[in-house]
Structure 1
Amino acid sequence: MLKTVSSKYPRISLVKKPKCNHYSTKLSYKHNLGEEPLRHITIGTLLEETVAKFGDRKALISRHQKKSLTFAEILDQTDKLASGFRSIGLEKNDRVGLWAPNLIEWYITKMACARAGLIMVGLNPAYQPPEMEYCINKVGIKAIVCADQFKSQNFYENLATVAPELEKSEPGKLKSGKVPSLQTVITMSENKKRGAFNFGEILDLATNDSIAQIRKYQRDISPDGPCNLQFTSGTTGKPKAALTSHFNMVNNGYLIGKRNELNRKHHTICLQVPFFHAFGTTISIMAALNHGATMVLPTDGYSPDKSLDAIKEEKCTIIHGTPTMYVDLVHQQEVRKEDISPEIAVAGGALCAPQLFKKMLSVLNVKKVKSVYGLTETTAVVFQSMVTESEEKAVSTVGHVGEHVEVKIVDKDGVVVPCGTPGELCIRAYCNMLGYWEDEAKTKEMIGPDNWLMTGDQFILEEDGYGKVVGRLKEMIIRGGENIFPKEIEEFLNSHPNILETHVIGLPHERLGEEVCACIRVKPGTKVTFDDMVSFCKGKMAHFKIPSKLKVVDEFPKTTSGKIQKFKLKDLPAN
């Protein structure tokens, strides 16, 4: 049974005048009504429509698997798998965990869950047994589809650690004390595993009649129904599970693709991000599906060298990645100097420094760099670069508010602030999640009774609808009564010729409350000392913003989706 807070509200609503005491100025409120209506369809119906338009076009090229599938072949495989799922007893709204790196089977499984009326749960392939136990129990996963191996991970062995009964069970009949909801394990291994089905076995269960039933079943799946559980990135603690609908994902994917110009020609996307993350699931998969774009998987994980190979050899016109990935890709291209000319680089998942934007344009030889900004809880994107905009807007903002989206910026008392004034970003839109799975209290903390979702991001809204992220409210450093936002210092230090990447954190200080600590990654063969950093900052920023501590790292601790885990930086020794 689904236990979430209702999010039923008008998709285009009449809005009462926001409460505000600043009547003489423009308020930080924007409602972008959109150029075309939202579509009330499911992911399964969208797949059928895409096949009708682009059936013979490549949907996916997996270079490491040496395989590719057209959209028509994807639909064929998807319906076989969906039929197999129903044959082994999976029913509407059952949760199916998908625990694998970027593989063709991942994509097929996602689509099969949508066609079978199941709720797919994207699981980080880096999760260890205790994390898997938490996720399985958090959302009541009934079946898990997992890879064989990825890097040092053996998925089956990890599941057997979580559920020791697996090795003595019949496939589909697991009964485990630690994870009572889990009944079925399906592996992508070529070898038979005790207590588990093989992926191919499930496909082979399909018959002409059962596939026909799946196709008829599409009319019984509601676009407003749940289809995806996305765990938050876990950068600050245990992840929550955001539930989204077909309607959320179809429309967010369409509008994302439109802003990223997928509707203008047939694009080929080099996908560096993991499928399981909102970037991969919505910004990449759903946008490509809406517009018939081809996705290229350079490898099952992440490798800037293999990304560069894919961009060159597959003639990719668009790149998807996080800022950290672009730092690495730019560095590799500086070394290799390949003859590449992709048209667009899309950056999301974290804030992108202006200095990095400029390097992406010059070093990667792209014509445009586009930003996307959003949250797991908003399906994916709410602010995004426009098709045409100035370089100043591209470099200094996270884009323009999306279509069919309302935003406002409020102070600590919930009062709407004037444009250009920092405050907390709040969002009310079709893309807001249905709620956190079986966590009414946390859902109410984030989404109020008026359906405004509070992001926790310190944000500035300009009069023209463009937005700027100042930083996370929880990351703000208060040093001796001065409010300091890490992003400002990070962007400045990233302009140092020897610094590749910077992340700024607050450390406890007996007298000041907090002090500023800069954590940096430097270019190979160079070094930056504490005195170098202070000298670089003096005269260019207020004295209280200059870091009093420096930590130099070889690699930043981060999630598989590329987000930096700032809470782990506090435990690293200072230089």
Structure 2
Amino acid sequence: MDQALSYASGPTDSPLLTETIGANFARTVAAGPDRAALVDRAAGTAYTYRELAEAVDAFALGLLARGIRPGDRVGIWSPNRTEWVLTQFATARIGAVLVTVNPAYRTHELEYVLRQSGIRLLVSAPVFKTSDYRAMVGEVRDACPALEQVVFLDGPDWDGVVAAGRALDPARLAEVAATLHPDDPINIQYTSGTTGFPKGATLTHRNILNNGWFVAELQGWTHEDRVCLPVPFYHCFGMVMGNLGAVAHGSCMVVPAPAFEAAATLKAVEAERCTVLYGVPTMFIGMLADPGFASYDLSTLRTGVMAGAPCPVEVMKRVISDMGMTDVTICYGMTETSPVSTQTRVDDSLEQRVSTVGAVHPHVEIKVVAPDTGEVLPRGEAGELCTRGYSVMKGYWDEPEKTAEAVDPDGWMHTGDLAVMDADGYVGIVGRIKDMVIRGGENIYPREIEEFLYTHPDIVDAQVVGVPDAKYGEELMAWVKVRPGAEAPTAESVRAFCTGRLAHYKIPRYVHAVEDFPMTVTGKIRKVEMRERSIELLGL
């Protein structure tokens, strides 16, 4: 294909892993049984790889004793903790499909996921924060005929499964492992659909093991790395890019807290001498703004990933300069692609790391196409980003029509994201196709205006949405978070700040100061909700 077109394929010199997650885990344990594997700060526990393998095997055998077989769905509904990791690797050992349930779900969403995926056994925390999981499970249980067993953590349920496993012949695990294949589905993740019910992206051993491996490879991980993971495990960022990346490299997983807390994360980095730190941009913003930030020793940090949402330039610069993460990388992807399709490299320029989401991943193809015709566009032109390769999901669980809408007959996953590929093959995400604002015939990408508003001395975060307008079709509204102690900017003051520096049609007409943006638990801004609330606020 002509180099001037927006198409690129990743390097293939390092081969794909052709084993199951269980086989890969066993290989890592054999290579360094006494190496540090997992530290759970809230529980006060630490495991070597030998100890982790023993705990994983006991729970895997316990699941077999409870009648779970390859292909059966096992759900996990819990914040980040040791048992989450044990369940992840135990289900992989016996070929059960792990269904990761968002800890923020309420009964309506829980019931949908339990029914839609046909979960036979659910591992659940009893409570977390204001969520009484035990009561919610009780409420929906009768409506979920496939759900036969619930194993609550912190009590006799979990202990009973482990005890049953210890009574079983360990040879059973090898017998089951011999029947498993890398292309078997092993994980269902419900994408946080901003409209309608979430869809269950079905991922294989091959999908997620390789993606975790290459994300970590591109950061240069070895068995000496200690990886701080404040990102949620129920999502690819935590369980694939974090846990699978770490185990494939024999690195140590550090769980700073059940859910993200800035101080707990900074404390974990210092106490555990972490070399790697993961987070969505809002997490890094939170850590940099922590009152005690300057007092933490973060000198061991080297690399990590910022992903999950567009990364503000100023935040990236501070992560490199103030947190010492000189080799920090940016990743772009989606659950349906296991998740990562592009990543910056550790030796990329600051400009590439702050203005792009990197170049194509190994063994993956990407292209930018015209959304209406599907034609590959010249480099430099904005269109829909599509990706193809080992990382594309098997499909949405039990939803062939929805799968066909997302993955075309040639195997290309259509991301719904607007992207531009530059002359060097680096990709910039300019927004969601559905977030693009058309004002008086001009296409406006909110991302560009958000980046500009970060340069305002009193604004620490900004999100821009389109609202209906009788004259122009749409107008821009900026939601802004203000730095502590500063006065909330008015629409007039923001317009004055923008005038002469942004084209007139890109200057927000409305400004709304907020404490927080509506978000999905994966750290994605819910622009659909922002738009609805903006229309109400403005009385449109």
Alignment TM-score > 0.5, same fold:
yes
Give 1:61 shift. Answer: 0.6
Counterpart check, 1:97 vs 2:75: yes
The offset of 1:302, in angstroms, is 1.0
Report if the CA contact (8 A) 1:326-1:360 is conserved.
yes
Q: In 2, distance between residues paired with 1:289 and 1:230? A: 20
Aligned twin of 2:179: 220
Q: Which residue of 2 aligns with 1:257?
A: 216
Give the corresponding residue for 1:69: 47
Partner of 1:305: 263
Residue 387 of structure 1: how far off its partner (Å): 3.0
User: Aligned letter for 1:532?
Assistant: S
Could you tell me which residue of structure 2 aligns to residue 555 of structure 1?
516
Alignment partners' CA distance in 2, 1:395 and 1:499:
19
Which range moved further: 529-538 or 229-238? Answer: 229-238
Deviation, structure 1 residue 365: 2.8
CA separation of 1:134 and 1:208: change in aligned 2, threshold 3 A: closer
1:396 aligned to which of 355, 365, 370 = 355
**Which residue in 2 is equivalent to 1:503?**
463
Tell me the distance in 1 between the aligned counterparts of 2:284 and 2:260: 12
- With normalisation by structure 1, the TM-score equals 0.90
- Provide the secondary structure at the position in 1 that maps to 2:286: helix
User: Which residue is 2:18 aligned to?
Assistant: 40
In structure 1, give the amino acid aligned to 2:171. Answer: A
Structure 1 residue corresponding to 2:135, chosen from 118, 134, 157? 157
Q: Deviations over 1:85-111 (max 9, x none)?
A: 111111221111100000100000011
Q: Distance in 2 between matches of 1:482 and 1:565?
A: 24
8 Å contact kept, 1:407–1:428: yes
Deviation readout 1:105-128 (Å, 9 max, x if unpaired): 000001111111100001111111
Kept in 2, the 8 Å contact 1:550–1:574? The answer is no
* Amino acid of the structure 2 residue aligned with 1:27: L
Give the counterpart letter for 1:353 in structure 2. P
In the alignment, what sits opposite 2:450? 490
Q: Is the 8 A contact 2:63 2:165 kept in 1?
A: no
Aligned to 1:6: none
Instruction: Tell me, yes or no, if structure 1 residue 381 matches structure 2 residue 340.
Output: yes
SS in 2 for 1:519: strand
Corresponding residue of 2:432: 472
Matched ranges for 1:202-217 at <5 A:
202-207=161-166, 209-217=168-176
Tell me whether 51-60 or 109-118 shows the greater mean CA deviation: 51-60
C-alpha deviation, 1:343, in angstroms: 1.2
Determine the C-alpha separation between the residues in 2 that align with 1:361 and 1:40: 35
Where does residue 279 of structure 2 map in the other structure?
Answer: 321
Matched, 1:523 2:523: no
- The one-letter code of the counterpart of 1:426 is C
List per-residue Cα deviations over 1:204-225 (Å, max 9, x = no partner).
Answer: 0024653221123212101110
Please state if 1:433 is matched with 2:389: no
**Which residue in the other structure is 1:188 paired with?**
153
Helix, strand or coil at the partner of 2:165: coil
SS at match of 1:150: coil
8 Å contact kept, 1:308–1:333: no
Post-superposition offset of 1:232: 0.4
Q: Which residue in 2 is equivalent to 1:57? A: 35
Superposition deviation, residue 464 in structure 1: 2.1
TM-aligned CA deviation for residue 235 of structure 1:
3.1
Summarize deviations over 1:400-451 as a string: whole Å, max 9, x none.
1101111111112111111111111111110000000111111001111111
CA distance in 2: counterparts of 1:394 and 1:353, whole angstroms: 11
Q: Check whether the contact 2:61–2:168 (CA below 8 A) recurs between aligned residues.
A: no
2:502 paired residue among 530, 535, 541: 541
- Pick from 114, 120, 123 the counterpart of residue 101 of structure 2: 123
SS of aligned partner of 2:340: coil
Asked if 2 retains the 8 angstrom alpha-carbon contact of 1:334 and 1:363, the reply is no
> Is the 1:102–1:297 Cα contact (8 Å) retained in structure 2?
yes
The match for 1:172 is none
Q: Return the alpha-carbon distance in structure 2 between the equivalents of residues 415 and 534 of structure 1.
A: 38
- 8 Å CA contact 2:8–2:425 kept in 1: the answer is yes
Q: Which moved more, 1:298-307 or 1:463-472?
A: 463-472
Q: Secondary structure at the match of 2:175?
A: helix
- Pairs aligned (count): 533
- Asked whether the equivalents of residues 333 and 364 of structure 1 are also in contact (C-alpha less than 8 Å), the reply is no
CA–CA distance in structure 1, aligned partners of residues 37 and 123 of structure 2: 21
Contact 1:397 1:466 in 2 (8 A): yes
SS of match in other structure, 1:515: strand
Deviation at 1:368, TM superposition (A): 2.6
Work out the CA distance in 1 between the residues paired with 2:444 and 2:69: 51
CA contact (8 A) 2:40 2:254 kept: yes
- How much has 1:333 moved relative to structure 2? 6.2
Is 1:244 aligned to 2:196, yes or no? no
Percent identity, aligned pairs only? 38
- Confirm or deny that 1:339 pairs with 2:297: yes
Number of the residue aligned with 1:565: 526
Gaps of 5+ in 2: none
CA RMSD of aligned residues (A): 1.5
Q: Shift in Å at residue 335 of structure 1? A: 5.0
| SS at structure 1 position matched to 2:379 | coil
User: What amino acid sits opposite 1:464 in the alignment?
Assistant: D
Structure 1 residues 134-183: Cα deviation after superposition (integer angstroms, max 9, x where no partner): 111111111110012210112111101112xxxxxxxxxxxx2x111111
Offset of residue 268 of structure 1: 1.0
1:59–1:293 Cα contact (<8 Å) kept: yes
Cα deviation, 1:471-522, whole Å, max 9, x if unaligned, reads 1111101111111111001111011121111111111122222111111111
Cα distance in 1 for residues equivalent to 2:406 and 2:217: 28
C-alpha deviation, 1:238, in angstroms? 2.1
Larger mean CA deviation between 202-211 and 403-412 belongs to: 202-211
CA change 1:334–1:304 in 2 (3 A) is: same
SS of equivalent to 2:254: strand
How far, CA to CA, are the matches of 1:344 and 1:311 in structure 2? 12
- Secondary structure at the aligned position of 1:205 is classed as helix
Residue by residue over 1:324-367, the C-alpha shift from the partner in whole angstroms, topping out at 9 and shown as x without a partner, is: 11111111167544232211241011110111111212222322
CA distance in 2, matches of 1:152, 1:542: 46
Task: Specify the SS of the correspondent of 1:444.
Answer: helix
Q: For 2:149 and 2:57, how far apart are their aligned partners in 1?
A: 19
- The structure, 1 or 2, with the larger RCO (C-alpha pairs under 8 Å, 6+ apart) is 1
Residue 316 (structure 1) shift: 1.1
8 Å CA contact retained: 1:518, 1:547: yes
CA distance in 2, matches of 1:253, 1:492: 33
CA pair 333-30 structure 1, distance change in 2 beyond 3 A: farther
Deviation at 1:48, TM superposition (A): 0.1
For 1:314 and 1:304, the matched residues in 2 are separated by: 15
Instruction: Name 1:271's counterpart in structure 2.
Output: 229
Matching residue of 1:179: 144
Retained in 2: the 8 A contact 1:490–1:503? yes
